Amino acid sequence: MNGLNKLKKEYMYDGEKSYLVVSVPVQSEIKHYQLEMLEKNNVEPLLPLAVQRFNEELRLYYEITSKIPIKRIFERRRINAREFEYIVMQFARLPDELKDFLLDISFVVLDESYIYCDPLTMKLYFLYIPIPICENEHDSFRQFIKRMIIDDISLMDDSSGNLLKRLLDVLKHETFSAEKLAQSIIADETCKKEAPAIKPVKEETEVKLAEYAVKERNDKTKAQDAKHRAVTELKYPLSSYLITAFLNAVLIAVLILSLAAEKNDDAGSRFLGIVLIAAAVNYFAVTRLFSKDKKTQKITGMTVNNKRNVNQSVNIIPKITNFSEKRLDGLETAAGTSIDDSGKGHATHEKPVRNYAASENTGRLYRPEINNAGCCNTVILGKSTGSAPYLQSLSNPANKIIIDKNSILIGRLKGSVDYVIDNKAVGKIHAEIVKKGEEFYIIDLNSVNGTYVNGERIVCNTETMIKNGDKIMLANEVYTFT
């Protein structure tokens, strides 16, 4: 869309959310009723919009917090069959969903840099600018989808071959419509459901083994936690029990001697007095000798502490960082890690990995099957990072993000970033570090908690130069650039 390039665009953060701000001259032929429709209604496929007037221009604020342009997704990873169907179906349904709000598909910005998505669910969000300068040319919608399918999307496997052929046939037809595009996807789903469900025994076995591995791992973790709690249980010191027993023994002896005395006329009074004294002594023992602050931690054997901070969970085991979290069927290219001289993993050669369910909290792959002859090679310790710059964690200096290529994506979404930070405060795809010549820049990718350089929050989607010694903070993870 050439019209968008003629408008002033900038990014901003208002203290809570990130925005793409498009400035439109007031004298432009703006479809005001459409702007009002967008402001007052939550049109699900579109980016949320707020409008403000400044002097002789309207500023359109599109909220893009935690959303990533699909261009970055397509450039970084392959798309599986289910994601492919979902993406195309969202395009196919877009015209009808807009008609419900009296909106026109011709004002949707058909540019992969301005079509956003949730990188986890692949839900799309479109930019809608209702001014003639941004209006699409005839047939732009069909041509964009065709180009995206053929040139931009890299499919993970050949399971979408029939659907791809059917979609291209619809796109080439003279009577193309979004409705026919949606029907072709539905027809493909129907064929899959009606097809006989013949599953190879090997695949069933692999799924069961994967599920069993997850269960077995969870059981072991629970057992270790229980053992750790039992061994480190807080107990009162032995001296508290000995002192209490001694005091009660003395009182019992006094009681016996008193009752054995010759004068028995006041034996009852003496008995009652001694009982009261005994009660007072025991009250003192309970409140003083058995208070909470008197408890001590007794360790009777060697245990494994299962509590680790966020950074340590990344360090302990070299992990596969590129795999599907939801599906067990299919192969995906994954980047492993090897250990450098600081103990931190860094990227190794890519290998095809069969996907198994993983825990988002720990980032561990329970039962990886690496279909490569070199899968059993020993990890070499003490390998130097060479002259490659890196980000070093302040809280755990062993953690290093090695910047060994021109672009490094950082976030918590495994399979979509180059370096995984297992921290819920960090965005799915939080930031990117790029190298241009001998200089390095960091870009915040619309993260919720932001990216800071030397204590100042940087503007999202904007390159900020970083130098040796700069303090980089990704949400609450602090690093030094070296």
Q: What is the pLDDT of residues 253-266, one digit of tens each?
A: 877 877 776 555 56
One pLDDT digit (tens) per residue for the chain, 482 residues: 567 888 899 999 998 999 999 999 887 788 889 999 999 999 989 999 999 988 888 999 999 999 999 999 999 889 999 999 999 999 999 999 999 999 999 999 999 999 999 999 999 999 999 988 777 777 899 999 999 999 999 988 766 778 888 899 999 888 899 999 999 888 866 666 655 544 443 444 444 445 545 555 555 555 455 444 444 455 677 777 888 888 888 888 877 877 776 555 566 777 778 788 888 877 777 777 776 666 665 544 444 343 334 333 333 333 333 433 333 333 333 344 444 444 444 444 443 433 434 334 333 333 333 344 444 454 444 445 567 899 999 999 999 999 999 999 999 999 899 999 999 999 999 999 999 999 999 999 999 999 999 999 999 999 999 999 999 999 999 999 99
What does the pLDDT read at residue 174? 83
Query: In the CATH hierarchy, which fold is given to the domain comprising 310-481?
Result: Tumour Suppressor Smad4 (2.60.200)
pLDDT of residue 123: 96
Q: Do 451 and 470 contact (CB within 8 A), yes or no?
A: no
pTM: 0.60
Which tens digit of pLDDT belongs to each residue from 374-400? 444 544 444 455 678 999 999 999 999
Q: What is the pLDDT at residue 219?
A: 55
pLDDT reported for residue 189? 66
pLDDT value at position 409?
96
